[in-house]
């Protein structure tokens, strides 16, 4: 399928210098600006800001409760934002969390983990691990049924969610599902999409390279499963997965390969590749209209899997 015309218009805007910036400060500012521009018509939800204990200090988080939710515990989603581990926060992904909360009926906890380069890898993984332990332990107080707690995220945050699902398989707590949106899962970066969409499609090879450099990986094997969940030795015994990829996305093949591997390992998986779409299109609903129904469909999938 050809590139969606709204996505093409957005990419043309970037090409004219309206969004992307090369350094970390510019990348963070651009993502915040993009979130304000794109998140139009956000779904209503009751929100409450939280402070979670983290290995490097307090972590900011936000609880989303569906409008009109009953007092009884519901399924829950622990969500991690994208941004290459160097950008993104609670506000940049507020619209996504609101949409997923509304469509799924789940209570969502979004976590702002520590970012590089101020906090080198694996700070983000450590924070994600700590936040999962805290949410699982405090699930009843959050109105979440701990037996129906899913983990999920966008882009780099999806990689965190995938890694948590792998670790939880060995050490707990039990995870009901993993929701991976345009996931970045392979630090080695193989796959045709890495070459086909290396530039000109929003997330590009140069940005990924800068993000990797900012992580301070000195001496770390890029195939380390904490950075490359796709490279884990075994994917058997993982929770059911909902994976959404985009046709014109440099990391499309990360999600496709992960879906194939976990299916081969006997894990239930729902994989949708959105034709004509680009990385993060689901967060661009104000600019790329297809993003809104995609998030609604993802939320419905989550509701069906976690019950």
Q: Which residues are catalytic?
A: 155, 249, 279
* Spatial contact of 82 and 153, defined as CB atoms under 8 Å apart: yes
Neighbours of 15 (CB within 10 A): 11
Q: In the structure encoding, which two tokens stand for residue 196, read together?
A: 């086909």
Strands (E) across 250-306 are located at 269-278
- What is the Cα–Cα distance from 253 to 189, expressed in whole angstroms? 9
Neighbours of 192 (CB within 10 A): 10
* Spatial contact of 243 and 228, defined as CB atoms under 8 Å apart: no
- What is the Cα–Cα distance from 139 to 196, expressed in whole angstroms? 43
* Spatial contact of 246 and 239, defined as CB atoms under 8 Å apart: no
Residues 6+ apart with CB under 8 A from 282: 96, 154, 181, 182, 244, 291, 294, 295, 298
Residue with tokens 């009953």: 70
* Spatial contact of 41 and 286, defined as CB atoms under 8 Å apart: yes
Q: In the structure encoding, which two tokens stand for residue 108, read together?
A: 């969502």
């Amino acid at each position: 399928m050809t590139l969606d015309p709204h996505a093409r218009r957005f990419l043309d805007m970037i090409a004219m210098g309206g969004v992307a910036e090369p350094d970390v400060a510019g990348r963070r500012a651009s993502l915040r600006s993009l979130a304000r521009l794109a998140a139009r018509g956000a779904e209503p939800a009751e929100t409450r800001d939280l402070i979670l204990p983290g290995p490097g200090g307090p972590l900011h988080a936000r609880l989303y409760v569906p409008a009109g939710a009953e007092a009884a515990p519901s399924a829950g989603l622990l969500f991690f934002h994208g941004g290459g581990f160097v950008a993104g926060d609670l506000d940049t992904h507020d619209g996504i969390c609101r949409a997923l909360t509304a469509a799924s009926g789940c209570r969502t906890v979004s976590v702002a983990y520590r970012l590089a380069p101020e906090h080198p890898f694996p700070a983000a993984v450590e924070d994600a691990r700590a936040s999962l332990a805290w949410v699982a332990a405090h699930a009843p107080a959050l109105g979440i049924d701990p037996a129906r707690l899913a983990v999920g995220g966008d882009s780099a945050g999806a990689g965190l969610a995938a890694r948590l699902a792998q670790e939880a398989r060995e050490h707990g707590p039990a995870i009901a599902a993993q929701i991976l949106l345009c996931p970045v899962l392979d630090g080695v970066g193989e796959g045709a999409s890495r070459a086909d969409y290396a530039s000109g499609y929003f997330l590009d090879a140069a940005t990924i390279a800068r993000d990797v450099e900012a992580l301070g990986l000195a001496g770390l094997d890029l195939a380390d499963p904490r950075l490359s969940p796709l490279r884990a030795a075994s994917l058997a015994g993982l929770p059911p997965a909902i994976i959404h990829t985009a046709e014109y996305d440099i990391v499309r093949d990360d999600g496709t390969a992960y879906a194939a591997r976990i299916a081969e390992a006997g894990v239930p998986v729902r994989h949708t590749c959105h034709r004509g779409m680009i990385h993060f299109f689901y967060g661009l609903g104000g600019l790329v209209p297809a993003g809104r129904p995609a998030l609604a469909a993802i939320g419905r999938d989550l509701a069906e899997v976690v019950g």
